[in-house]
Amino acid sequence: MQEPLLDVRNLSVAFPGHLAVRDISFRINHGETLALVGESGCGKSATAFALMRLLPHGTAIAGQVKFGGVDLFKADARSLRTIRGKRIGLILQEPMTSLNPVLTIGQQIAEGLVRHERLSWTRARSRAVELLDLVRIPDAASRYDDYPHNMSGGMRQRVMIAMAVSCSPQLVIADEPTTALDVTLQSEVLELLDSLRRQLHMALLLITHDLGVVAQWADRVAVMYAGRIVEQAAADALFERPTHPYSQGLVRATLRLDNASHYNNARLREIPGSIASAAGEQGCAFAPRCAQATKDCRRTPPALMPYHDRLVACRLAVDAPEETSSAAVGR
Ligand SMILES: Nc1ncnc2c1ncn2[C@@H]1O[C@H](COP(=O)(O)OP(=O)(O)O)[C@@H](O)[C@H]1O
Ligand code: SF4
Ligand SMILES: [Mg+2]
C-alpha cells in the first residue's frame, strides 16, 4: 500500500471564540485531485491555511498533518519554508491580494526560483518566461515586465498558477481559484490547472463551493458542513448517489433535477436555512435544515462512518465496515 502524499488526521482549527474546523481527517494520494466542497463559512479556507501553517496568530490547531512523511505541525520554520512554495503550491481566490503590486509579475515568479531553486537571476528570468508560456499567457516574454494592475483578472490568476507550480510542487492547494472570474474564464483556468497537474505529476486539493466544478475535475470529494466532513466518496459516486442529506441537497441544487423522486428529501431542493452556528452544538449540525431530522439527531452528533463505497456522517447511513470499498476513501 502506497503511503498517501498528504495525510490529515483529526484536524481541528479554533479561532478565538470560534471552532471553525472540527476533527476532520482525509488523505490525498500522489497525482490525484481531491475536492473539498461546502458553502461559504464551513471551514474550507481554515483547513487549507492550517495545512500550510498560515493561520493568524492566536489560532489554535490540533491533530496531525503528514506531508510526504514529514509532520507539518512539528516541522521547524526552515523546513516549513521549503515545503511551502517548493513542495506545496498555493493558489488563492483573489490574485490581487497575493501578488505584490510594486513588483513586476516576472520578478515575483523569478524571486521564488532564486530562493527555492537557487537559480541565478538570469536563469530565473528565462525560466519565469517559460512558466508564463506554460500557463498560456500570450507573448510571455513581453509580459515579464508587467505589473499586476496591468493584467486582467484571468491573466493574474494564471500568474498565480505559474508561481504556485514554478518549483514543480507535489501538491497544489487551490482555494476557490476561479470564484472571482466569470464563467468562461473559470473553465479555462480549471482546464489549465488540470492539464498542469497531469503534466507535472502533481496532486491537487481543489477547494470550491461549486459542486459543478467537482463533477468535472475531481477524483474524490469531501463534503464539508459546519466544520466537519459529512461525506467522502469518489466524485462520480457522490453525484450518482449522494447519501448525506446535505450532499443530496447540494447535488440537486447543482443538477436542478426535475425528478427528485428517488431522493427521499425533496424539500431540500434549495437547501433552506443558513449554516449552523458552531456555538452550543448538540447533535447533528445539519439537523435545523434536515427534513429527516428526529430527536435522536439533535442529541448525538453522528460520526463519519463507512457506508457502502464511502464515508458518511448521518444516523441514517450505517452499515457493516467490511462492506466498504477502500478505493473511494483513499486507502
Ligand atoms: N481570522 C478569523 N477569526 C475568527 N473567525 C474566523 C477567522 N477566519 C475565518 N473565521 C470563521 O471561521 C469559519 C470558517 O471560515 P473559512 O474557513 O474562511 O470558511 P470557507 O473558506 O469555507 O468559506 C467562518 O465562520 C469564519 O467566519
Ligand atoms: S443525522 Fe439526522 S439531522 Fe443529521 S443529516 Fe442525518 S438525518 Fe439529518
Ligand atoms: Mg474560503
Angle subtended by helix axes 153-165 and 121-134, to nearest 10: 120
Q: Check whether residue 153 and residue 243 sit in a common domain.
A: no
Find the 291 Cα to ligand 2 centroid distance in Å: 8
Per-residue pLDDT for 248 more than 90? Answer: yes
Q: Which of 142, 168, 170, 167 is nearest to 155 (CA)?
A: 142
Given the CA of residue 230, which atom of ligand 2 is nearest to it? 5
Distance of CA 48 from the midpoint of ligand 3 (Å): 9
Q: In which residue are the cell numbers 505559474 written?
A: 162
Contact 84, 77 (CB under 8 A): no
CB within 8 A of 320, min separation 6: which ones? Answer: none
Q: Which one-letter DSSP state was computed for residue 68?
A: T
Report the C-alpha gap between 161 and 41 in whole angstroms: 24
Q: Measured from the CB, is residue 226 less than 6 Å from ligand 1?
A: no
Tell me: do 100 and 249 sit in the same domain. Answer: no
Q: Are residues 161 and 249 in the same domain?
A: no
Question: Does 230 map to a domain?
Answer: no
The rounded Å distance from CA 106 to ligand 3 centre is 27
Is 80 exceeded by the pLDDT of residue 62?
Answer: yes
Degrees to nearest 5, angle at CA 164 with 189 and 53: 120
231 within a domain of the structure (yes/no): no
Ligand number, closest to the Cα atom of 15: 1
More confident residue, 29 or 1: 29
pLDDT category of residue 258 using cuts at 50, 70 and 90:
very low
Closest-lying ligand 1 atom to the alpha carbon of residue 16: 4
Round to the nearest angstrom and report the end-to-end CA distance of the chain: 8
Q: Give the E-state strand segments of the chain in sequence order.
A: 6-15, 18-28, 33-37, 60-67, 70-71, 88-91, 171-175, 203-208, 220-225, 228-234, 305-307, 310-312
Consecutive H or E run containing 202: none
Which atom of ligand 1 is the closest one to the Cα of 47? 17
244 lines ligand 1 (CB under 6 A): no
State the Cα–Cα distance between residues 326 and 308, nearest whole angstrom. 10
| Number of structural domains the chain divides into | 2
Residue ID of nearest Cα to ligand 1 atom 5: 15
* Same domain assignment for residues 255 and 120: no
CATH value at residue 101: 3.40.50.300
Least distant ligand from the CA of 297: 2
Residue 178 lies in a domain: yes
Report how far ligand 2's centroid is from the alpha carbon of 51 (Å).
29
Is 329 inside a domain boundary? no
Residues 67 and 199 in one domain: yes
The pLDDT value recorded for residue 256 is 61
What confidence score (pLDDT) does residue 11 get? Answer: 97
Q: Say whether both 193 and 65 belong to one domain.
A: yes
Contact (CB, 8 A) for 155 and 188: no
**161 Cβ below 6 A of ligand 1:** no
**Structure confidence at residue 278 as a pLDDT band (50, 70, 90):** very low
Q: Give yes or no for residue 306 having a pLDDT over 50.
A: yes
Q: Are residues 152 and 240 in the same domain?
A: no
Give the model's pLDDT for residue 23. 95
Atom of ligand 2 nearest to the CA of 292: 7
47 Cα: distance to centroid of ligand 2 (angstroms): 23
The CB of 13 under 6 Å from ligand 1? The reply is no
| Distance (Å) from CA 133 to ligand 2 centroid | 49
Query: Binning pLDDT at 50, 70 and 90, where does residue 267 land?
Result: very low
| DSSP letters for 82-122 | HIIIIIEEEE-S-HHHHS-TTS-HHHHHHHHHHHHH---HH
User: What percent of the chain clears pLDDT 90, i.e. is strictly above it?
Assistant: 72
- Report how far ligand 2's centroid is from the alpha carbon of 38 (Å): 17
Asked if residue 24 lies in contact with residue 229, where contact means CB atoms within 8 angstroms, the answer is yes
φ and ψ of 252, to 5 deg: -65, -40
Pairing outcome for strands 88-91 and 171-175? parallel
Q: Is the CB of 46 under 6 A from ligand 1?
A: yes
Closest ligand 1 atom to 46 CA: 17
* Nearest-ligand number for the alpha carbon of 292: 2
Q: Are both 156 and 293 inside the same structural domain? A: no
The finding on whether 234 has its CB within 6 A of some atom of ligand 1 is: no
Locate the ligand 2 atom nearest the alpha carbon of residue 297 and give its number.
Answer: 2
Tell me if 227 is assigned to some domain: no
Q: Count CB neighbours of 328 within 10 A.
A: 22
Whether 225 is covered by a domain: the verdict is no
pLDDT tens-digit profile of 85-141? 899 999 988 767 789 999 999 999 999 999 999 999 999 999 999 999 999 999 999
Q: Is residue 203 part of a domain?
A: yes
- Both 59 and 164 in a single domain? yes
Same domain, 187 and 57: yes
Per-residue burial over 276-303, b = 16 or more CB atoms within 10 Å of its CB, e = otherwise: bebeebebbbbbebbeebeeebeeebbe
Domain range holding 181? 6-218
pLDDT of residue 68: 93
Query: What is the Å distance from ligand 2's center to 235 Cα?
Result: 22
Q: Which atom of ligand 2 lies at the shortest distance from residue 244's CA?
A: 5
pLDDT in tens, 145-198: 999 999 998 999 999 999 999 999 999 999 999 888 888 888 999 999 999 999
The strands making up 6-15's β-sheet, listed across from edge to edge, are: 18-28, 6-15, 60-67, 70-71
Write down the pLDDT at residue 24: 97
Per-residue pLDDT band for 300 (boundaries 50, 70, 90) equals confident
CA 246, CA 244: separation in Å to the nearest integer?
A: 5
pLDDT tens digit sequence for 32-53:
999 999 999 999 999 999 999 9
Q: Sheet containing 220-225: give its strands across.
A: 88-91, 171-175, 203-208, 33-37, 220-225, 228-234, 310-312, 305-307
Query: What pLDDT score does 275 carry?
Result: 56
Burial 91-112 (b: 16+ CB within 10 A, else e): bbbebeebbeeeebbbbbbbbb
pLDDT higher than 60, residue 269: no
236 CA → ligand 1 middle, Å:
29
- Which residue would you say has higher pLDDT here, 90 or 261? 90
Per-residue pLDDT at 58 exceeds 80: yes
* pLDDT band at residue 274 under the 50/70/90 scheme: low
Same domain, 153 and 197: yes
pLDDT value of residue 279: 44
Q: Are residues 184 and 38 in the same domain?
A: yes
265: in domain = yes
Say what the pTM is: 0.90
What 134-139 contacts at long range (C-beta under 8 Å, 24+ apart), as own/partner pairs, is 134/162, 134/165, 134/196, 135/159, 135/161, 135/162, 135/165, 135/192, 135/196, 136/192, 137/162
